């Protein structure tokens, strides 16, 4: 284990169990619907891969990439589309699949942007939601875990493109981000 990594915040088994619960609920809610999962690159890929394979309903998958943290942990406050959807979502039942909600800025932008394309429905599934006071008020329809306000890595989340492949989620040791 790297010296940059701190304590495990959510273990591998806990993640698996929660994904099963979320996918059971999603399977029920989207029975007989036209579900399209929109994964937000790159952080959500591991979550999306595991979640989609547990969903017992036909799904289509598309991706968007938006700018957020880059190699610094401070958000710029501006969201830009780096890669748009390939599919038209008009009339589809769209579920945004996001890794983590921090300030909520990214999600707020995505919801507004995707709503303007007139999907039949638009909901949000986020694996993690940080407990912070300054978070924008956003309805998260399916939330995996509430997490403390620490910089987290693993299970899709990176630090400077590292650690996405860890099967668990852990905190980066304070000080590591400045090195
Ligand atoms: P927000 O717009 O909600 O402030 O930030 C959302 C995005 O910031 C996430 O999709 C993720 O890419 C990044 N982010 C926020 N918190 C963390 C964190 O603790 N660890 C990592 N690796 N990325 C984070």
Task: Output the CA 179–ligand 1 centroid distance in Å.
Answer: 19
Taking CA atoms, 51 is separated from 83, 98, 108, 141, in Å, by: 22, 11, 22, 15
Give me the pLDDT at residue 78, please: 78
CA–CA separation, 18 and 120 (whole Å): 27
Decide if 102 is catalytic.
yes
Q: Distance from the CA of 164 to the center of ligand 1, in angstroms?
A: 13
Taking only the tens place, the pLDDT of each residue in 121-176 is 999 999 999 998 888 888 999 999 999 999 999 999 999 999 999 999 999 987 66
Q: Name the active-site residue from 50, 93, 99, 102.
A: 102
Domains of the chain in start order, with CATH, are 13-146 (3.40.50.2020)
Report whether residue 126 contacts ligand 1, using a CB cutoff of 6 Å. Answer: no
Which position has the higher pLDDT, 80 or 16?
16
Cβ distance 174 to 5 under 8 Å?
Answer: no
Decide: 153 in ligand 1 pocket, CB within 6 A. yes
Dist CA 58 CA 160 (whole Å): 35
CB neighbours of residue 81 within 10 Å:
13
**Which pLDDT tens digit goes with each residue over 64-117?**
999 865 444 455 567 889 999 999 999 999 999 999 999 999 999 999 999 999
Which pTM value belongs to this model?
A: 0.93
| pLDDT for res 171 | 95
pLDDT at res. 179: 47
CA 99, CA 119: separation in Å to the nearest integer?
Answer: 22
pLDDT for residue 47: 98
Identify the pLDDT of residue 71: 42
Ligand 1: residue of 69, 134, 163, 165 to mutate (most ligand atoms within 8 A of CB) is 69
């Amino acid at each position: 284990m790297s010296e940059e990594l701190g304590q495990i915040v959510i273990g591998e088994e806990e993640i698996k169990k929660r994904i099963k619960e979320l996918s059971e609920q999603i399977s029920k809610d989207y029975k007989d619907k036209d579900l399209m999962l929109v994964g937000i690159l790159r952080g959500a890929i591991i979550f999306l891969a595991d979640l989609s394979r547990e969903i017992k309903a036909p799904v289509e998958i598309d991706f968007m990439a938006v700018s957020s943290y880059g190699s610094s942990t401070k958000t710029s406050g501006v969201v830009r589309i780096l890669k748009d959807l390939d599919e038209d979502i008009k009339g589809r039942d769209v579920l945004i699949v996001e890794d983590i909600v921090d300030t909520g800025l990214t999600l707020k932008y995505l919801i507004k942007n995707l709503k303007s394309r007139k999907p039949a429905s638009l909901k949000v599934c986020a694996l993690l939601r940080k407990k912070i006071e300054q978070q924008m008020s956003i309805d998260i329809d399916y939330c995996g875990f509430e997490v403390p306000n620490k910089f987290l890595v693993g299970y899709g989340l990176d630090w400077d493109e590292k650690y996405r492949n860890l099967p668990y989620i852990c905190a980066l040791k304070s000080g590591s981000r400045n090195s």
